[in-house]
Amino acid sequence: MTATDAFIGLGSNMADPASQLAGAVARLAALPQTELLAQSAFYSSKPVGPQNQPDFVNGALWLRTELTPLELLDQLQSIEKAHGRERVQHWGPRTLDLDLLLYGNETIASARLTVPHAELANRDFVLQPLLDLDPERVLPDGRSLAGLRQQCPDNNLQKLNPVAREPFPPG
């Protein structure tokens, strides 16, 4: 099978969010048939939806994978579960949120998966990390990430300083 470039969004606002993301990065880098090509900076942002929750820490990864989109989604959800993710409240607090943002130049619309991610164009905390990874990236419909970022609502995005952390062990 041919390897495909996939972009993963990372988010957390519970249980030491930056450590949650670092652990997710380590686990994603260890996925079978997958290579981690690049990692964005981490950013803090205000929550979307209910405001009575902590700010989020977000970032993105660029992977090259031989996994199919649904196989990759299954891996993402397994990693979320390993980090204690519970789906209690829509847009509520979470230990870890992993989203398949882009998968090659594919457009996918199924019951389980929508790619490009449905809210990508409305989220500065998704667009900016993607731009960190690939400033020239264009969506399958021809829109550029840079153009979308210029039109995107402001969510008080703040770039975080890197912090040396021990990631969770893979597995």
- The catalytically annotated residue of 16, 55, 97, 165 is 97
| Measured CA distances, 158 to 17, 53, 79, 120, 137 (Å) | 15, 17, 26, 18, 22
- Residue 99: active-site member: yes
- The domain tally of the chain equals 1
168 occurs within a structural domain: no
**141 included as an active-site residue:** no
Active site residue 55: no
Asked whether residue 33 is domain-assigned, the answer is yes
Q: Say if 130 falls within a structural domain.
A: yes
Q: Are 21 and 84 in contact (CB under 8 A)?
A: no
Residue pair 76/8 in contact by the 8 Å Cβ criterion: yes
Catalytic pick from 5, 64, 99, 165?
Answer: 99
Which one is catalytic: 85, 124, 141, 149? 85
Q: Which of 94, 123, 124, 149 is catalytic?
A: 94
Count CB-CB contacts under 10 A for residue 18: 16
Is 166 part of a structural domain of the chain?
no
pTM: 0.90
Distance from C-alpha of 129 to C-alpha of 115, rounded to nearest angstrom: 17
Give me the tens of pLDDT residue by residue for the chain, a chain 171 residues long: 699 999 999 999 988 999 999 999 999 999 999 999 999 999 999 988 777 889 999 999 999 999 999 999 999 999 998 887 665 655 557 889 999 999 999 999 999 999 999 999 999 999 999 999 999 999 999 999 999 999 998 888 999 986 554 554 554
Quick check: is 143 catalytic? Answer: no
| Cα–Cα distance, 156 to 58 (Å, whole number) | 12
Provide the domain limits for residue 142.
4-159
**Would residue 32 count as lying in a domain?**
yes
CATH number of the domain enclosing 114: 3.30.70.560
Tokens of 166: 């021990």
Say if 167 falls within a structural domain: no
Q: Is residue 79 part of a domain?
A: yes
- Asked whether residue 76 is domain-assigned, the answer is yes
